[in-house]
């Protein structure tokens, strides 16, 4: 699991859209860092629900299987009926698709029921012995810990672009965070979501995760966990469950990414195209939540950024993944491996589950823009690091936008 960062809502560049309540904890971090992919985690896979339908949506609102998806499933020997009735739980190596072109994610209606959404958790910590400080010439001192502050409720007013990402892996149901971003091919009507690469693909030792779905405004009112246990799906997911019908991450993450140690972290980003679980919708995701962020692929070096705000749903203790938190800090630099891009790093107490959550700063036009996403941090929490988005990230983003440009 990769640690994530909380957001100190004190400064957000949104003209007061976010409140301010983050506390600085001047606690020193342990000198030995154990990194883990902050997002992913197992759940006892007992609540599979009763899957009743699958795939994308037709113009009349009925759930159907697009021919493209049917053909890709058939190419890989996947029987759709068997898949939705439990075959997706087969993680044999020859069944775990890993190449960029092989992404398939048929909708299984009601698989993500309230209990399953609530119980998705982060993965066990897998610490590494070696320090990842890298080239000290481009690694700044470890930042002071910033205690994450809960986002103001309703989240739809304070962080309408944010939500929880749910998915299944070999160890069970897992959780990350994600952000609604603008789509240049569909101005004002985006169905694109930004997250971390390790939230959709296991990297060099695995393949694409399954049943990937985005829940914008998860637990929008910030209900306590005890109340969530009796909440309806509409209360937990007021803006619906949006399944990813396509995902793209960097070639570097697929080739080098690992759950510990920071390998592939400078390229740990992904873009999803999503569709509503319940069938065709007259409104896009952006129209449904009322907001989407532009992505800044030409962000300045840390010396030109006064503050970045990270948002996520941390799920590892002391958090439980049911509420959105934020951290705000002036970023520093972190070099994971010599010869690879330097990452942004901020102080933050957020833990596993916040991975993939967006880092927002002030764009060149003075308005909020996505600068990065949570990627790595120490097992003990205290800071988060995210990739600096450049030409590789822009290529992933534009590729997904182009794929759906005519639709």
Residue 48 has pLDDT above 70, yes or no: no
Cα distances from 107 to residues 40, 56, 130, in angstroms, run 21, 7, 41
| Strand 270-276 relative to strand 382-386, pairing | unpaired
- Residue 327 · residue 348 · CB < 8 Å: yes
Whose CA is closest to 141, among 29, 251, 53?
A: 29
Cα distances from 66 to residues 96, 107, 286, 302, in angstroms, run 21, 11, 23, 44
Number of H helices, E strands in the chain: 9, 16
Q: What are 216-242's pLDDT values in tens digits?
A: 999 999 999 999 999 999 999 999 999
| Strand 242-249 relative to strand 210-216, pairing | antiparallel
Query: Could you tell me where the beta strands, DSSP code E, fall in 253-304?
Result: 270-276
* Per-residue confidence band for 280, with pLDDT thresholds at 50, 70 and 90: low
* Per-residue confidence band for 303, with pLDDT thresholds at 50, 70 and 90: confident
Q: What are 112-132's pLDDT values in tens digits?
A: 999 999 999 865 343 332 345
Domains of the chain: 23-403 (2.40.10.120)
- Across residues 163-180, what is the average pLDDT? 95
Q: What is the share, in percent, of the chain residues with pLDDT greater than 70?
A: 79
3-state SS, residue 113:
coil
Give kind and range of the element (H or E) at residue 394. Answer: helix 391-403
Q: What are 336-382's pLDDT values in tens digits?
A: 887 889 999 999 999 999 999 999 999 989 999 999 999 998 877 89
Q: Transcribe 354-371 into DSSP letters.
A: -TT-EEEEE-TTSSEEEE
> Buried b / exposed e across 281-306, counting CB within 10 Å, b at 16+?
beebbbebbebbbebbbebeebeebe
Cα of first residue to Cα of last residue in the chain, in angstroms, is 36
């Amino acid at each position: 699991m990769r640690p994530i960062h909380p957001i100190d809502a004190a400064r957000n560049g949104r003209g007061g859209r976010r409140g301010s309540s983050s506390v600085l904890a001047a606690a020193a971090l342990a000198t030995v860092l154990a990194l883990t992919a902050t997002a992913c985690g197992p759940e006892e896979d007992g609540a599979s629900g009763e899957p009743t339908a699958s795939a994308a949506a037709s113009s009349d609102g009925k759930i159907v299987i697009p021919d493209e998806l049917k053909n890709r499933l058939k190419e890989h020997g996947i029987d759709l009926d068997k898949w939705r009735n439990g075959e997706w739980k087969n993680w044999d190596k020859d069944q775990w698709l890993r190449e960029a072109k092989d992404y398939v994610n048929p909708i299984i209606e009601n698989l993500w029921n309230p209990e399953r959404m609530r119980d998705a958790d982060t993965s066990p910590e897998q610490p590494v012995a070696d320090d990842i400080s890298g080239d000290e010439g481009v690694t700044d001192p470890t930042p002071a810990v910033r205690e994450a502050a809960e986002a103001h409720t309703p989240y739809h007013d304070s962080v309408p672009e944010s939500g929880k990402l749910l998915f299944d892996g070999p160890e069970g149901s897992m959780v990350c965070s994600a952000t609604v971003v603008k789509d240049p091919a569909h101005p004002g009507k985006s169905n694109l979501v930004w997250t971390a690469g390790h939230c959709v693909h296991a990297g060099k030792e695995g393949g694409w995760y399954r049943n990937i779905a985005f829940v914008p405004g998860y637990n929008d009112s910030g209900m306590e966990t005890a109340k969530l246990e009796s909440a309806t799906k509409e209360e937990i997911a007021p803006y619906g469950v949006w399944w990813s019908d396509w995902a793209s991450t960097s070639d570097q993450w697929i080739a080098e990414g690992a759950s510990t140690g920071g390998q592939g972290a400078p390229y740990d980003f992904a873009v999803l195209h999503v569709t509503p679980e319940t069938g065709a919708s007259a409104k896009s995701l952006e129209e449904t939540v009322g907001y989407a962020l532009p992505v800044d692929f030409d962000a300045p070096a840390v010396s030109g950024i006064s503050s970045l705000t990270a948002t996520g749903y941390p799920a590892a203790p002391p958090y439980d993944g049911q509420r959105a938190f934020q951290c705000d800090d002036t970023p520093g630099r972190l070099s994971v491996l010599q010869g690879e891009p330097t990452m942004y790093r901020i102080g933050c107490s957020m833990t596993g589950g916040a991975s993939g959550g967006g880092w927002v700063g002030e764009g060149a036009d003075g308005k909020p823009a996505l600068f990065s996403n949570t990627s790595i941090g120490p097992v003990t929490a205290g800071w988060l690091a995210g990739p600096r988005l450049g030409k590789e990230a822009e290529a992933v983003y534009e590729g997904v936008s182009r794929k759906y440009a005519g639709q």
